[in-house]
Every structure is written in C-alpha cells, then in structure tokens.
Structure 1
C-alpha cells in the first residue's frame, strides 16, 4: 500500500512538472504576447497551436468547449462539432436584442513545397514583419481564426458592455460549409448575426455568392508502357494562387488549366502518353502547382524540352503582371513507371483540362466591379481507377450557378466522364431593411468621419446557409480586418487593422438597440 501510494504521488508530481513545463514553454514562445488587443491575440495564438484543417476540428472544438467551461458559460457542442457559447447581457443591456458573433474554426492548409509541416499535428510557426502577422511557409489561419479569437475575447471580458451574446463557431466551412449545413436552428436564440469572415477593413458585406462543388471523374484505363519510352515530368511552379472567389478577378494563372494547355499543344507535335497528373490541393484555392508525368520516345526528348521552354516563355509573357515568377520545368526521370494511361484516357484527360471553363463567367450589372459568376478548377488527382477534377462554381444568381454546372456536365459527357455535386449552398440576398447594417454604418461614421463601403462579395459566406436555416429572418452583416493572400502560404494579417476592427466591434455591441 505504501509503495502504491508513493508511486501515485510520484506520478502526480511528474504530471504537475510536465504541465508546468508546458505552460512555461507556451509563455516563453508566445510571439504575440505584447500586441494589442492583448486578449484577441492571446486567443489567436492559442488557436494557432491547434491543428484545425477542415475535417480535423475535434481538437479545436474541444478547446472551445473547455474555454466556455472555464468561464462558466453555457455551451453546446453538436454532432457536427459546431460550438455555440452563450453569455448573458451585461447590466443595462438585458432588454436589447441578443446578438450572434459568428465565424468558422477550420482553416485552409496550404504550404510551400520546401516547407516541412504536418497540418495534422504541428502548430503554426507565427512571425511578425512590421505591421503584419505571417505563418512560416504555411497558411496563417487568420481566415477565420481571427473571428474566433475576437468572439472569445468578448466572452472572456468583464468590462465590455453588450446584449446577450452567442458565439457560433462552425466546422468545415472551407470544404463546403458542412457545419452550417448541419446546424440545428433550435440551438440559436438570436436573430442578429455578425459574421467576422470578411477581409477588407472599411467594407461591410451585405450579400454573397452561392456555390456548387463539382467533381468530374474520368475512368482510368491503365496499360503496360513500352520499355523503349522515356519517363519525363513537366512541373508548373511559382504562381501566386489565392482565394478562388476573392481573387478570381486578378487574372492569376491556374496551374491545372495551364497544364491542360501545355499538354494539348504538345500533343499536336509529339506522341506521348500520360503516366500521372496532379495539381492543386483545395477546390476553393486557385492552384499554384501542377505535375504531369509523360512517356515519350527517346528521340523526342529534345523536341519536348524545346517545346516546353518555348511555352514557358509564352506563358510568362502572358502572365508577366499577375504571376511574374511562373516557371515551367521539364525533367527526364532516372526511373520509369510501371503503368501509363491508355491513349483514350490520355486524350480524355487532356481534352477535359483544355475545354473546361475556368475563371470569370459574368460580371454584375448592379454592382460595378463585382464578379457575378465564376468557376475555379482547383484540384486534379490521379487515383487507382480514375482521374478526378474538382471545381468550385460561384454565383450570386442561382440560375447562372446551375448553368455553369450544366456546362461542366456537357463537357464531361463529351470526354466520357461523369460529374457529381459535392456541395451546393445558397447565395445571401441583400436585405434592404437591415437594422444591423444601419448600426454598423452609424458607428463607423462616428469613429472615422466617413461612411464605410457597402458591397457584396464573390465568395461563399455561411450567411447564405444561415439565412436559409432561419427562413430569411436572420438580420446579418459581415466585416473583418485586413487579410491578404488568404488560402496561400503568403497569407498575412494587419495588426493595426485588427485593433481598429476590435474597437469597432466593441462600439457596435454598445449601440445595438
């Protein structure tokens, strides 16, 4: 008994020391500890330590539940891992309408090719450059970690005046809004929603595009390659990429479409077959890289190399402004491949890549400069029995969204492929009688001396789905601090903008009536 008791005490002591050391390491390694607003960046940094790619949110969801319990707040964690945290109104605000602060807990996981980072277990490595916060070689997760951090800071505060609050943090927003789709509206009390998933200070979003994720599948018929053929690889690198909604209007190159163009032109002068093709990793990010393994006759190696060099220069000239660092590399591999796609499968892949629509489809006639409809071929993968192509279709007009999907289906039929819908979410329609918009405008003008910009966004916000969930009776607005190059390893966030938008949010909560 004495031995077991001593062993238990030793175990507790070791656990205590380990916990203490872990806390010390966290304190020592805090990069954002002296940046204001202190509480916002404290929680943002804590979130950055938790892997939270779409579909891997259990850890961050449990973290939010623990936060609520530590602050004695009511919390709901639903089967989709959405978290709803409720806080009562402060004194004098009991009779004001309750407010929902909303964001999503997942992030897009993109990294540079030479970055060693495991998004399933490694914390983000934050760094500060002047007024900006970056992650080292990866996406930052400010989209949408900053919304969660702001919401947590308000819930933790004992000084901020506010009506009854609900922090709604959803899952899998970046891959089709599955969390918002699964949300039980009976768990929500408020009918005023402040979404903090916008990326430009001084701009209030009052409408957004709906979307469809289209997956095209071409059957893979494999053959044994001719032993005399040489295995080569074409690589596209150096593109900027970006958010497939927010930055679709910047004319940036899509590596998958460029690869389709290269292969189509190459097929006119050289006989080759495909061994494998891959490009991009997220349907909602403009793809930056693509690889195609091809098999050619030995005597055609030089010809292919020269053609690739020629095409690289053509593409560099065309994309010299939006993508000045574009590179197209050709390399003969030392090892061959055990299989190649049949000639028919090769032709089907190339024809689909070349023909499928990509980029802006139509511009809004109501809001100058706003993209109305678009499509982004975000991902190409070679699987055991198929080649898959995943496109993100967006439009603020439902009929045009359907029309683009029908075009994808039509092209797929021409090459012997099939198409399925992986997600389909509604647009968020403009509300001419929005009271929360009026409050945001009045407070902004009071702080800044001029009115904010009121606009729509060519991207999918959860406001569309949430509006539908509540039969159009949710009064919504979206705002946020300045974020740049989201969905890319260059993603960064303005520190000073976070401070201004935090002050703005606090003042808005005081003025909601």
Structure 2
C-alpha cells in the first residue's frame, strides 16, 4: 500500500515513511514497528538495544576519520495519534494508513496521517541508512507512548545515551527551530454519581455535537477552535429548563487532541421534546456565529431513541455535574511574558465519559511553569470535590528551559542562513516535546528541535508539506556533516 510515496523526493526518507504508514502504531502498540526496525538494523550491521521501558536505541559508528567528532542522538517517537472521522471505520491496531497527495501536501484518508512523528522517525532511519553521509558517532533513539503519557521518555534508562548533542525531529514548522517547550500533567477526575429510574413520562433522547476541526491540544489551543466537550456542556446547561437529566455522555477520545465530537443521552419529559429541539436550533445558530471563520462545520442534533435505559442521573446530580463541567478550567490560562506570543499555561478538557453513573474526566494541563500546572490541577480538585469526585494527577513531565546562547543553536542558524537565505525563527512551543524529560535525565546534552511543515496534527486533517520534507532532510544532513567536521562547540 501507499506505493505513490516511492516517487517522492527524497526517496530515502519517503521509503521509510511508507513503511511507517503500512505498519499500525498507535500509542501502546509500537511493538510490531519496533521489531521491524530491529530486523532492519541487524540486516545493516547496526547494533540496537531496548531499555526496560521499551524504548529502542540504534547505534552507527562514526565515518572513518570522524571518530572524535561530537556524538549525535537523533530522537523521535514511534507512536502516532489515532483519530478517525466518525463515519470512517478504521482499526488503528491492524489497518494501515491510506495516504493521498493534494496540492503539494500528503494527507491520510479520513484518519490521522502519523507525520507526527513518523517524518522524524523516517528521517532518523534515513540518516542511519545513508552511507554517503560523513558523520560522527550516531545514535537513533525511538521512544514509545509519547502521545498518551510520555511513558517512554519518562522511563528512559539513565547512563544509556553516549552522545553530546540531541536533535529532536518532532517539530512541525518549516523555517523554525525550537529551543524550549511546555511541561504538563494529566488531571484525572472520577466519581460515582447517584441515579434514579426513568419516570413513566420521561423518554430518552440522543444529543450530538459533531463537525469540529479539532487539532493539537497544545499548538492549536490558542486558535479559538471549538472544543466539543466545552460546547456540548453549554448546550446541556441550556436544556436544563426543559427537565433534561443525563443518562450517559461520551466526548473526545484523547487528552491531547481538541475534541471534535461529543454525544449525550438525555431523559426529557414527553411534552418537552419539541421545545428542546427548538432551543437547540437557536443554540446551533449562536455557536455557528461564534465560531465563524475558525470552526465552520459545527452540527447539533437531538433525536428520540427507541431503547429505554433503566436509569439517569438524579436531577440534582445531573445539574451539579453539568455545572461543574461548565466552569471547569479550559483553554488558554495565560500568555507568556518572557516569550511573547507563546501560550504559557493552558488546559484541554480532552475526554469526558458518563456510563451508569460513573463519571470520568481526563484533562491535559500544559505550562512553561510547573507551579501553574500544579495550580490548575488543584483547581480541578477543589471544584470537583463539591460533587464528591476524586482528582489525581498522573504522567507529570517537566518543560524544556530555553538556552538562546546555545552554540548548537548558533551553528544551526548559520547553516539555515547559508542554505536557505533566511534566519530561522527561534521558538518555544506550547507542547510537550520529549526534550524536557530527556534533558532532565541527561543535563549535559545540547538540544534543538526542527522538522518539516505539518498541519492539523492529532486530527484527520493532518498533513505534511512534501517540499518541506526535502528541505528538512537537506538541513539535517548538512548539520550532521558540519558537526562531524568539528565546527560546532
């Protein structure tokens, strides 16, 4: 499958990306791809190791004469975000990604593409394969479960990496180089809420909110796009005067993706259905107007369902849960003063479920300041304690502190200027690059992050600009060769 990728330039990179597209690799299911890379490395005489967390490290000796050059670690993550349009059946654990080309960009058909971070992994493999490249000692570090928990980086073995320089290949902006990133943490809220039987005059209705763009919960959080959980809770609040009480709720699928769809089953009194639908039409017009030019596809629907559930949340429990969700922290909390134009702290209401009275919420807090992450987590704890819920924080990871005076950064900027005629933008990203975690374990590593142009990451609109892949590849090759010549500090 995806034979058309073999015709793209640089062939050595796209050939590896085709392999990644054809090999299912959602978070938690990287084993097949990891084993494939290990067999590939063995066939080329390259050594490889795994650590206890399941990360893979492939080593290649320096080109003869370059043994004294600084060792380079090429780093990317094997997993991809698994998001598909609701009307497109796709099993990310078994089905390959089907790609197509349009207007100079590579897309996937109704699913995420996996260019995040498949392009970085493909580039690292291409470097290992390219015997025409002059280089110092090379290591390619492929981590796991980056998209769900940062588990691979958090569990990375200490005293394992030997290189002096780390090139993270998980950035998504042409003409930019990243030198810092936000840290973050998952905030998990759970509660068992009281229910009562449906009355004889109540009927179940299915409420849905679909059609949003979605996107990355870090780099897209400031763009004003709709969050399906945030918006559907607003609709639920508006329907409470019609006697609505929640039976179940399902919104979002990943804590690090802006939710595109959310669904709820409601109990409504018989004679309130028509009025509720009329109110929904008003809400549709309001929300469409608010999101115009940013998120134009929103669709609200309310339909009576035939099956009759046994119970719904009590009126009080339903009201309290909807109220708590309505005021929960969401979106951009603060912009950075030190790094103008960069979000300092944000929160994404990523996944919300209610089944049989069991409520669960998973939010992802990001911040350049660990203290702000802790504060938002505590606000969740204080808020949801009012409805008897338990809040815990998991998978916390540190940010990456910028070093604008880095000699490695200076070398990259000079190279970019010579080859492309422009100075790259030096950026700090409001997302969880693994550099912060890796830097904590290996504080002597010099690090930068760069990559090709990727848009729509974490959504079925994900795409990569084909020309930017070749540009990024040429920069990567040139940087490795310059570092082998000993020109970098």
Q: What's the TM-score bracket when you normalise by the shorter of the two chains?
A: over 0.9
Matched-pair contact (CA < 8 Å) for 1:65–1:77:
no
Q: TM-score, normalised by structure 2?
A: 0.97
Matched-pair contact (CA < 8 Å) for 1:97–1:164:
yes
* 2:238 matches 1:265: yes
Say which of 180, 188, 191 aligns to 2:164. 191
* 1:192 shift after superposition: 0.7
* 3-state secondary structure, aligned to 1:103: strand
Partner of 1:6: none
Partner of 1:367: 339
Partner of 1:511: 482
For 1:277 and 1:402, the matched residues in 2 are separated by 28
For 1:81 and 1:39, the matched residues in 2 are separated by 26
* 3-state secondary structure, aligned to 1:346: helix
For 2:82 and 2:193, the matched residues in 1 are separated by 28
Q: TM-score, normalised by structure 1?
A: 0.92
* 3-state secondary structure, aligned to 1:402: helix
* 3-state secondary structure, aligned to 2:415: helix
* 2:442 matches 1:474: no
Matched-pair contact (CA < 8 Å) for 1:61–1:81:
no
Say which of 208, 226, 229 aligns to 2:181. 208
Deviations 1:436-490 (A, max 9, x none): 21111111011012211001000010001001111x2111100000001000001
Partner of 2:118: 145
Partner of 1:226: 199
For 1:57 and 1:498, the matched residues in 2 are separated by 24
Partner of 2:471: 500
* 3-state secondary structure, aligned to 1:123: coil
**Runs of 4+ more than 3 Å apart:** none
For 1:330 and 1:410, the matched residues in 2 are separated by 33
Say which of 17, 30, 34 aligns to 1:61. 34
For 2:218 and 2:99, the matched residues in 1 are separated by 26
* 1:339 shift after superposition: 2.3
* 3-state secondary structure, aligned to 1:447: helix
Deviations 1:59-111 (A, max 9, x none): 11111111111111010022322110000111332111100000000000000
Larger radius of gyration: 1
Per mean C-alpha deviation after superposition, the further-off stretch among 270-279 and 332-341 is 332-341
* 3-state secondary structure, aligned to 1:503: helix
* 1:385 shift after superposition: 5.5
Give unmatched runs, 5+ long, in structure 1: 1-25
Partner of 1:238: 211
Matched-pair contact (CA < 8 Å) for 1:200–1:479:
yes
Matched-pair contact (CA < 8 Å) for 2:52–2:157:
no
Partner of 2:151: 178
Per mean C-alpha deviation after superposition, the further-off stretch among 326-335 and 162-171 is 326-335
Say which of 308, 319, 335 aligns to 2:291. 319
Deviations 1:269-315 (A, max 9, x none): 21121110110000000101000100111100111101111111111
* 3-state secondary structure, aligned to 2:461: coil
* 1:220 shift after superposition: 3.1
Partner of 1:448: 420
For 1:223 and 1:64, the matched residues in 2 are separated by 54
For 1:125 and 1:384, the matched residues in 2 are separated by 37
For 1:65 and 1:385, the matched residues in 2 are separated by 46
Matched-pair contact (CA < 8 Å) for 2:413–2:423:
yes
Say which of 383, 386, 405 aligns to 1:414. 386
* 3-state secondary structure, aligned to 1:205: strand
Partner of 2:348: 376
Say which of 96, 103, 107 aligns to 2:76. 103
For 1:97 and 1:468, the matched residues in 2 are separated by 20
Partner of 1:94: 67
* 1:393 shift after superposition: 0.2
* 2:433 matches 1:461: yes
Partner of 1:341: 313
Partner of 2:9: 36
Give unmatched runs, 5+ long, in structure 2: none
Partner of 2:270: 298
Partner of 1:310: 282
For 1:159 and 1:344, the matched residues in 2 are separated by 70
Deviations 1:32-55 (A, max 9, x none): 011111010001010111111111
* 2:152 matches 1:164: no
Partner of 1:7: none
